[in-house]
Amino acid sequence: MKKFLFLPSIALANLLLADNLIEEALNNGLVALPSDSSALSKLIESASLDAKNYPTTDQRVELGKRLYFDPRLSKSGIISCNTCHNLGLGGADGIPASTGHKWTPNPHHINAPTVYNSVFNSVQFWDGRAAHLAAQAAGPMTAEPEMASTPELVVDRLKSIPAYVDEFKKAFDSEINFELVTTAIGIFERTLVTPSRFDKFLEGDINALTKAEKVGLKTFIDKGCATCHNGINLGGSLQPFEVASKYQFADVGDFKGDANGMVKAPTLRNIELTAPYFHNGAIWSLKEAIKTMGSVQLGIDISDKEADSIGIFLKSLTGDMPKVEYPMLPASTDKTSKPELDY
């Protein structure tokens, strides 16, 4: 009889603890991606600053996907958006700093952030210089050390391909222009969201996380990590950097943040897929990254045990990846400009 009474009391205690943890997480600014598809679509549109002028449609998404994978948007004809934001590699490229046109390393030694869930970042780029995805898409395309193209080259190449002319007409009722090229890519990127078990937990499913993951979430909150890594993306907003101490690898590259030294806190969603870490990709170990953030940002020593616990929680943020089939790209024509490899 005592055993019968004891087991439900343990279950009740666990239920109360989980409910308290959910409330604590919400009170610390953590926000769930909604499991309801309609609510999620509305959230995506509200997060897209250009959605009022360019709402998401199936035709625009498909066109944007084709452009995202098309290397002809680069001067050399061999680099696409997917080169540095590989959808099979967590939306990043898995190297410290990206390599671009003529095998040029990024001159500032900047690590490519993940494109997954980037629609929920309040700013784009590490220094926050772009407000939304379409504005971000224009940057790498026209940067000499990256895709090395120009708006004129991009538009001329696409206009030389009748299938693209037709697709832009159907998607936007317009001829091709550079703004619509970047807009279409941004619209496709809006769809790259990855709901996780953590979201189900925040919505009230107390069994969505394991006991160890719940302990890690509690540690994450107690240590103050949610101060910067909050909101839907557990990051994605500009934050002060080197708050408590100097970053050990600050001299790797010359990036110093925006004019005020602010740096975009990266999303922690899918963090186990996006090593190496930090703006210059100088740290490969998630555990080391956690401990470094403790000293640099919080001015505290996070023990190995605590870092392991937080790491266990962070891996629960690995979400369900959207199914993206590699598109078949339309054929070039005699009018399509030839690749400029600049050997």
Reported as a single tens digit per residue, the pLDDT across 87-107 is 999 999 999 999 999 999 999
Q: Could you tell me if 218 and 280 lie in one domain?
A: yes
Band of pLDDT at residue 9, cut at 50, 70 and 90: low
Place of tokens 């909050």: 230
Same domain, 274 and 306: yes
107-122: b (≥16 Cβ within 10 Å) or e: eebbbbbbbbbbbbbb
Q: Is 203 helix (H, G, I), strand (E, B) or coil?
A: coil
Same domain as 140, residue 94:
yes
Q: Is residue 2 part of a domain?
A: no
Residue 179 has what pLDDT? Answer: 97
* DSSP letter for each residue of 282-340: -B--HHHHHHHHIIIII-----HHHHHHHHHHHGGG---PPP-PPPPPPPP-TTSPPP-
Same domain, residue pair 215 and 76:
no
Residue 228 belongs to some domain of the structure: yes
Last residue of a domain, one of 162, 191, 220: 191
Mean pLDDT of 9-32: 82
Average per-residue pLDDT for the chain: 95
Mean pLDDT of 97-118: 96
Same domain as 140, residue 54: yes
Q: Are both 84 and 185 inside the same structural domain? A: yes
Q: Which domain holds residue 232?
A: 21-36+194-315
Q: Within this chain, do residues 103 and 126 fall inside the same structural domain, yes or no?
A: yes
Determine the 3-state secondary structure of 277 from DSSP: strand
User: Does 54 fall in a domain?
Assistant: yes
SS3 11: helix
Mean pLDDT of 290-316: 98
Q: Which residues are annotated as a binding site for heme c?
A: 81, 84-85, 101, 225, 228-229, 293
Q: What pLDDT, on the 0 to 100 scale, is given for residue 16?
A: 59
Here the contacts of 8-15 (C-beta below 8 Å, separation 24 or greater) are 14/206, 15/206
15 in a structural domain: no
- Which is higher by pLDDT, 21 or 11? 21
Calpha distance 110→279 (Å, rounded):
6
Residue 67 predicted with pLDDT over 50: yes
Tell me how far apart the alpha carbons of residues 226 and 224 are, in angstroms, rounded to a whole number.
5
Q: How far apart are the first and last CA of the chain?
A: 82
**Pick from 139, 163, 191: which residue ends a domain?**
191
Residue 85 in any domain: the answer is yes
Question: Which residues have C-beta within 8 Å of that of residue 237, sequence separation ≥ 6?
Answer: 121, 122, 123, 228, 231, 264, 265
Q: What CATH number is given to the structural domain containing 208? A: 1.10.760.10
Q: What number is the average pLDDT over the span 43-68?
A: 97
Structural domain contains residue 12? no
Residue 14 included in any domain: no
Provide mean pLDDT across the span 294-303.
97
Q: How far apart are CA 127 and CA 249, in angstroms?
A: 18
Do 158 and 200 fall into the same domain?
no
- To 10 degrees, what angle do helices 162-172 and 58-69 make? 140
pLDDT at 7 over 80: no
Residue 266 lies in a domain: yes
Instruction: Let me know: does 264 contact 237? Beta carbons within 8 Å.
Output: yes
Which helix (H) or strand (E) segment holds residue 187: the answer is helix 178-190
Please indicate, yes or no, whether residues 310 and 286 belong to a single structural domain of this protein: yes
What is the number of domains present in the chain? 2
Are 134 and 86 contacting, i.e. CB atoms less than 8 angstroms apart?
no
The catalytic residue positions are: 146
Per-residue pLDDT, averaged over 208-231, amounts to 98
Higher pLDDT, 19 or 98: 98
Amino acid at 221: I
pLDDT of residue 10: 55
Strand, helix or coil for residue 97: coil
Q: Are residues 209 and 274 in the same domain?
A: yes
**pLDDT reported for residue 1:** 47
Pair (152, 217) in one structural domain: no
How many Cβ atoms sit within 10 Å of the Cβ of residue 53? 8
Does 59 share its domain with 148?
Answer: yes
The confidence score (pLDDT) of residue 343 equals 80
pLDDT at 18: 79
Binding-site positions: 81, 84-85, 101, 225, 228-229, 293
Longest CA pairwise span in the chain (Å):
85
pTM of the model: 0.94
- Out of 136, 171, 191, a domain closes at 191
Residue 55 in this model has a pLDDT that exceeds 50: yes
The Cβ of residue 61 has, within 10 Å, a number of other Cβ atoms equal to 17
